[in-house]
Chain A
């Protein structure tokens, strides 16, 4: 059974049809890319998948469960985590605390336990710290654990956002332009990280990207979006050679 099934998804903002009749199937463990020219509706689809927008039509199924129209919080709890195109970190928290915030729903103790510093507080906090450090390691961020998130260099902020998303224990990880603003060397490093994350954490990855070297380098399958509609989908190599896709990107 497919991990994510999107059926005939559509959304209108007033008279604007931002996404129309979009369908997509992602199998477990796949590295899937969603590409398209600017304004094609890629981020809108991400926002519908994570419950920020409620779709006007169609349905979204995660692991056989219908998650259409649920709240962002509920969708995260059922197994989708994401990063943002414009980085959204908890800037006044430390790097470690950013990841620990992501662990909030997986390592629990009551507010009263925290206030009265019961033994469970110390035990759980220690487990959380260990888990957080473990999550920071593949991103080479464990050395910066005590820094404020806002003091990290740009590339590391992007990585921290991925680590925080992974902390919630997702089945599906959505990356919105993970390589935006990175130089070619940083991008190459990021590609390796994404592959390691997929293999080590056993997550399925869906990413939006404009950097074709990253897309062709790691994505196994692609969907191309143009003017809110699916232009074509399939294996990466086939899609990138499709004349329709080239036309959408480069014009005639």
Chain B
């Protein structure tokens, strides 16, 4: 009993192994020139959406609360990190120092807002929480879309109306230009950095879940009244989880903003929140590995359909939605899932000559 590997530990290490294998595979594809430009352009978004979806799974799957505001936290992370990078790109010239700091700043700001929003919002549960987080996500997006920030020798200037109201001195520089957003962000995001951040995020998420705090959070999810009766502070554990989800969302946002030369707040609309929630739901609620895989597959499909030919391009959203529905049926219908599990076990039995098939029947 002592030297046995815990199932939770095994699960996390299998995920790490899959990710590393996928990374090596992609790197080989790219270096041998077998990857299309479209695919290479998707590599960083893969990481961004995977991190964000895995982080959201913490709130949805581990805490058991529906949050529709993930795009808002990504927005905060994207903006705060981009501002930092724009301001410091002349002083800190090395990207490998500047970018991690920028991501950390993005994460911390998002976590800060996550906790601040969480204090009033987490008193709600279920549908009501979903509605309020959706509203907060939209508020964050709209505030950034209306915000004008510039700086000159006199310091920072803010305005919510127009660029002219900033009264910048001639040497002034725009930081946030309202709906046009931030331009001139250094393109620091690469697939390698994105992958490293994704791996770190996964380690954080798995370790958090398999620790004292994660256990307490899952207790709150399974039975709030019982969790209170054994002395767990519900609000504290909800806030920690919500904060961590926002932090990783912010980091993903930072990765996102440093992949684009121009960043607009309109990208972080509620469609993005829903999209990330779709990754979580289709990947399996509470299944972190599933979120990552769903995020990658469902980011790839629409883009692949766009390139597939003129006929398919017109119908790509139709095909995409049909694929979503089919996936939904396959993952939620017990009979179909049972059929696939059974055939998988049979296949495994043939491959391993029935040795492990009996043991694995969970």
Q: Is the CB of A88 within 8 A of B214?
A: no
Q: Which B residues touch A76, using CB under 8 A?
A: 228-231
Q: How many of A's residues come within 8 Å of B, CB to CB? A: 39
Q: Which B residues touch A90, using CB under 8 A?
A: 218-219, 222-223, 226-227
Nearest-CB distance from A164 to chain B (Å)? 6
Residue in B216, B227, B228, B230 whose Cβ sees the most chain A Cβ within 10 Å = B230
Instruction: Tell me whether A18 is interfacial, beta carbon within 8 Å.
Output: no
Instruction: Tell me whether A123 is interfacial, beta carbon within 8 Å.
Output: no
CB interface residues, A 87-133, toward B, < 8 Å: 88-93, 97, 100-102, 104-105, 107-109, 111, 113-117, 121, 124-125, 128
Number of A-B contacts (CB under 8 A): 97
| Closest chain B residue, CB of each to CB of A161 | B226
Instruction: Tell me whether B211 is interfacial, beta carbon within 8 Å.
Output: yes
Residue in B207, B212, B232 whose Cβ sees the most chain A Cβ within 10 Å = B212
Q: How far is the CA of A249 from the CA of B230 in the complex (A)?
A: 33
Instruction: Tell me whether B151 is interfacial, beta carbon within 8 Å.
Output: no
Interface band, chain B: 20 to 34
Q: Which A residues touch B356, using CB under 8 A?
A: none
Instruction: Tell me whether A73 is interfacial, beta carbon within 8 Å.
Output: yes
CB interface residues, A 44-96, toward B, < 8 Å: 50, 52, 71-73, 76-77, 81-82, 84, 88-93
Q: How far is the CA of A1 from the CA of B208 in the complex (A)?
A: 44
Q: How far is the CA of A107 from the CA of B215 in the complex (A)?
A: 13
| Closest chain B residue, CB of each to CB of A83 | B229
Q: How far is the CA of A76 from the CA of B232 in the complex (A)?
A: 9
Q: Is the CB of B218 within 8 A of A114?
A: no
Instruction: Tell me whether A167 is interfacial, beta carbon within 8 Å.
Output: yes
Q: How far is the CA of A220 from the CA of B216 in the complex (A)?
A: 36
Question: 17 A-B residue contacts at CB 8 Å?
Answer: A52-B225, A72-B229, A73-B231, A73-B232, A73-B233, A89-B222, A90-B218, A90-B227, A93-B218, A97-B215, A101-B232, A104-B215, A104-B232, A105-B232, A111-B208, A115-B211, A125-B211
Question: Which chain A residues have a beta carbon within 8 Å of chain B's beta carbons?
Answer: 50, 52, 71-73, 76-77, 81-82, 84, 88-93, 97, 100-102, 104-105, 107-109, 111, 113-117, 121, 124-125, 128, 164-165, 167-168
Question: Which chain B residues have a beta carbon within 8 Å of chain A's beta carbons?
Answer: 204, 207-208, 211-216, 218-219, 221-223, 225-234, 240
